Amino acid sequence: MTDAALLQEKEAEIKSAIEKILRDCLKTDVVFDDIVMRLQNDYYDDEVEEYLRIRVIFDGEQESLNLREAWGWTGQLWDGLEALGMKAFPVTTFVEKSEWEEDHGVRAKTG
């Protein structure tokens, strides 16, 4: 199965696995609002490499993620994704919810 087909078929399971791995590694109680994933290609000379672009939208400040203290989380994330059949290397970005909403025109619900 291709990574694109796997991502489409098992998106919820992949998101859940990513969240669990991040929680275990980062040891944080930060609320992950959403995990947005997209396969992308990287072109270098005559080679094309596919990678999984992961954006973790969280409610809080960057400092609350403890990224400096969470050694090895990228490797654990890659291992966890490989266990689900994903071959693409994960590239992860953490985005504060307020920044995501501003950049993507998301309006807060009122009521």
DSSP string, 41-78: EEEETTEEEEEEEEEEEEES-GGGG-GGG-TTHHHHHH
| pLDDT per position as a tens digit, 52-79 | 999 999 987 777 787 777 778 888 999 9
Mean pLDDT (the chain) is 86
Question: In CATH terms, is domain 3-103 a member of 3.30.300?
Answer: yes
Number of Cβ within a 10 Å radius of residue 107: 6
| pLDDT per position as a tens digit, 33-57 | 999 999 999 898 889 889 999 999 9
> What pLDDT, on the 0 to 100 scale, is given for residue 107?
53
> What pLDDT, on the 0 to 100 scale, is given for residue 111?
41
pTM for this prediction: 0.83
> What pLDDT, on the 0 to 100 scale, is given for residue 106?
58
What does the pLDDT average to over 25-34? 85
Residue with tokens 């990224």: 67
